[in-house]
Amino acid sequence: MSSEFELIELFQHIGAEYYKENGVLIGPGDDCAIFDLSTPIITSVDSSVVDIHFPSNASPQDIGYRAVAVALSDIAAMGCRPIAFSLSVSSPVTDDVWYKKLAEGVEDIAKEFEISLIGGDLTKGPLNLNAIVYGTPYSGKILMRNTAQPGDYICISSPTGRARRGLNDWKNTNNNSEYLTDYLRPLAKIELGKTIVNFASACIDTSDGLLADLGKILKLSECGALIYLDDIPITTDIDDINSGDDYDLCFTVPKDKFDNNYFKIGEVTSDRQIKLISNKGYDINIKGYEHF
Amino acid sequence: MSSEFELIELFQHIGAEYYKENGVLIGPGDDCAIFDLSTPIITSVDSSVVDIHFPSNASPQDIGYRAVAVALSDIAAMGCRPIAFSLSVSSPVTDDVWYKKLAEGVEDIAKEFEISLIGGDLTKGPLNLNAIVYGTPYSGKILMRNTAQPGDYICISSPTGRARRGLNDWKNTNNNSEYLTDYLRPLAKIELGKTIVNFASACIDTSDGLLADLGKILKLSECGALIYLDDIPITTDIDDINSGDDYDLCFTVPKDKFDNNYFKIGEVTSDRQIKLISNKGYDINIKGYEHF
């Protein structure tokens, strides 16, 4: 097997062609990377642990792509432009080919979003990836979680539960399922964030489940909500609203700025309760995905 | 056991008192943290994997402290001021007390360097910590690895091999060893970096072994070196120069700027070889710590 330093070479130049536009003064290879931007920098980290966040038999390409995608989703939720990422990989694998394929998946997403890999760490250990992402506002505004207002509409952009279905289909080796990609290569909704930043009042990405994540917006905004269960687009059944990994954006919009490009699933209220309304007789307990 | 969200609470406010001076506009709690600084931002990530980077029977306080310290060492090596960090923790532990103690160790280092915790991730999995650190230059200059010049002196600030001895003493349950702290709670040499940034020509931290890390400076600077083995301060034996985890800074200084506060261990040369010189008959193969 190649040395640690040779393996790092596989990743070293990913996205180097975008350094300049991304404000990257120094990429990987020194003790730190250096950004030089005149605008604020936003950053987040997401762990991807084998058998928790992705199945152990996923392809290395998908593992690499997915680890970065789920972190980029946090940049999308702030309505910002992604500029760069770091990737820390702990792996027990001793086969060079596996690392080459991992790097291919990472390169796929770097090219898709024109972002630069600026650093990382490579160690032996149980399979565990940490993607650190960096972004900057498109213009001045950054979407937050704590700024929803009573009366705002609550929106999502696509049916919930697609990733859950994808994971189930993967487990059932249904290789032709249209949902596999939703789970294995989730689309970071950067374009959506870029659009809605202009009129949304608050936003979060739905990684832990639609209701759980919406709950965070409401808690931080000190509001409640009426949720029209019958209006939530689902994939399998109503429990989709408690299933994680969709990486859609859930956002609130002042009534007068709402348009029909999105699914309206409820309204923000001034009391601090979440009320679920259904004429179909749905009975739902609010719970999101918890890692413990 | 508490929920993921309750455990996150233990870490949420660490270093919040330093947000303003550190340019932290938004700390943990949203999808991303936000920096707003007019100066460049440097960043690095370091993984700490159980039984590879620290022993499984280390205290949670030391595990937390050490994970951040080794990452801060990269900020020191650039001669910069640390401002913030994120911490991603994968852990199989289900005991709340363990997380409280981990947070104590993390808080220790946050207070020591007046840095702010700005984010992280907490997941179930084999024990694996990733510390992401952020810094900014004290004045204009940032120390790099690729800027050593032929004729420069090569320096370190303290005896090499202290961490190696500490780890051995830990394994031998020699609990009174003065070296334990060197391994379990390494000092990030931020103050040293702040001093030498004014006159050093290049710098790296010695995490993989003194000779291996010096080799990186020389390779990137397209230089070689004469190393005076007899002048290298050691702790146990000459193999200390190949032992990792010291987290000292190894730096080069133009001859006319050298002062006797540091150990001069060699000189940069214009050929691209590393020559080891010894009158004591040392015979050393250059090898550093590799994770694979």
Band (pLDDT 50/70/90 cuts) for residue A98 is very high
Question: Do residues B129 and B160 both lie within one domain?
Answer: no
- Give the total residue count for chain A: 292
Torsion of CA A230, A232, A233, A237, to 10 degrees: -70
SS (H, E, C) chain B: CCCHHHHHHHHHCCCHHHCCCCCEEECECECCEEECCCCCEEEEEEEEEECCCECCCCCHHHHHHHHHHHHHHHHHHCCEEEEEEEEEEEECCCCHHHHHHHHHHHHHHHHHHCCEEEEEEEEECCCEEEEEEEEEECCCCCCCCCCCCCCCEEEECCCECHHHHHHHHHHCCCCCCCCHHHHHCCCCCHHHHHHHCCCCCEEEECCCCHHHHHHHHHHHHCCEEEEEHHHCCECCCHHHHHCCCCCCEEEEECHHHCCCCCEEEEEEECCCCEEEECCCCCCCCCCCCCCC
Mutate to test the interface with B, among A5, A22, A31, A83 (most CBs of B within 10 A): A31
Whether residues B125 and A128 touch (CB distance < 8 A) is answered with: yes
For residues A183 and A65, give the distance between their C-alpha atoms in angstroms, rounded to a whole number.
11
Whether residues A34 and B40 touch (CB distance < 8 A) is answered with: yes
Is residue A263 one of the residues assigned to a domain? yes
Question: Do residues A116 and A183 both lie within one domain?
Answer: no
Side chain identity at residue B4, one-letter code: E
Chain centroid, CA A124 distance in Å: 26
Whether residues B142 and A205 touch (CB distance < 8 A) is answered with: no
Band (pLDDT 50/70/90 cuts) for residue A291 is very low
- Contact (Cβ atoms closer than 8 angstroms) between residue A131 and residue A48: yes
Instruction: Report the CATH number at residue B241.
Output: 3.90.650.10
Side chain identity at residue B88, one-letter code: S
Band (pLDDT 50/70/90 cuts) for residue B283 is low
For residues A202 and A180, give the distance between their C-alpha atoms in angstroms, rounded to a whole number.
29
For residues B11 and B24, give the distance between their C-alpha atoms in angstroms, rounded to a whole number.
16
Domain count for chain A, please give it.
2
Per the structure, the complete domain to which residue A56 belongs is given by 4-137
Is residue A16 one of the residues assigned to a domain? yes
Question: Do residues B118 and B25 both lie within one domain?
Answer: yes
pLDDT of residue A288: 46
Instruction: Report the CATH number at residue B97.
Output: 3.30.1330.10
Other C-beta atoms closer than 10 Å to the C-beta of A92 total 11
Band (pLDDT 50/70/90 cuts) for residue B104 is very high
ipTM: 0.94
For residues B213 and B206, give the distance between their C-alpha atoms in angstroms, rounded to a whole number.
6
Contacts of B261 (CB under 8 A, 6+ apart): B157
Last residue of a domain, one of A137, A164, A197: A137
Question: Do residues A76 and A161 both lie within one domain?
Answer: no
Q: Give residue-wise pLDDT tens across range A185-222.
A: 999 999 999 999 999 999 999 999 999 999 999 999 99
Q: Helix B60-77 vs helix B96-113: angle between axes, to the nearest 10 degrees?
A: 30
Is residue A184 one of the residues assigned to a domain? yes
Better-scored residue on pLDDT, A107 or A38:
A107
Mean confidence (pLDDT) of chain A: 94
Side chain identity at residue A77, one-letter code: A
Taking residues A112-121, what's their average pLDDT? Answer: 97
For residues B292 and B290, give the distance between their C-alpha atoms in angstroms, rounded to a whole number.
5
Question: Do residues B84 and B167 both lie within one domain?
Answer: no
Taking residues A119-143, what's their average pLDDT? Answer: 96
Question: Do residues B90 and B15 both lie within one domain?
Answer: yes
Question: Do residues A111 and A158 both lie within one domain?
Answer: no
Whether residues B90 and A128 touch (CB distance < 8 A) is answered with: yes
Task: Say yes or no to pLDDT of B286 above 90.
Answer: no
Question: Do residues B12 and B103 both lie within one domain?
Answer: yes
- Contact (Cβ atoms closer than 8 angstroms) between residue A170 and residue A184: yes
Chain centroid, CA B212 distance in Å: 15
A217–chain B nearest CA distance, Å: 9
Question: Do residues A55 and A94 both lie within one domain?
Answer: yes
Decide: helix, strand or coil at residue A239.
helix
**In which element (H, E) is residue A211 found?**
helix A210-221
Structure tokens at A244: 């994680």
Name the pTM for this structure: 0.95
pLDDT of residue B107: 98
Is residue A142 one of the residues assigned to a domain? no
Whether residues A36 and B35 touch (CB distance < 8 A) is answered with: no
Q: Give residue-wise pLDDT tens across range B229-272.
A: 999 999 999 999 999 999 999 999 999 999 999 999 999 999 98
Whether residues A46 and B146 touch (CB distance < 8 A) is answered with: no
Is residue B288 one of the residues assigned to a domain? no
Question: Do residues B75 and B168 both lie within one domain?
Answer: no
Task: Say yes or no to pLDDT of B288 above 50.
Answer: no
Instruction: Tally C-beta pairs within 8 A across A and B.
Output: 195
Q: Give residue-wise pLDDT tens across range B161-186.
A: 999 999 999 999 988 999 999 999 99
Band (pLDDT 50/70/90 cuts) for residue A284 is low
pLDDT of residue B282: 77
Question: Do residues A17 and A83 both lie within one domain?
Answer: yes
B1, B53, B133: residue with CB nearest A292: B1
Whether residues A80 and B290 touch (CB distance < 8 A) is answered with: no
A45 vs B contacts (CB less than 8 Å)? 86, 88, 119-121, 130, 132
Task: Say yes or no to pLDDT of A100 above 50.
Answer: yes
Is residue A58 one of the residues assigned to a domain? yes
Is residue B283 one of the residues assigned to a domain? no
Is residue A99 one of the residues assigned to a domain? yes
B38 vs A contacts (CB less than 8 Å)? 38
Whether residues A88 and B45 touch (CB distance < 8 A) is answered with: yes
Search chain B and give the residue with CA nearest A207.
Answer: B31
Question: Do residues A116 and A195 both lie within one domain?
Answer: no
Last residue of a domain, one of A92, A113, A137: A137
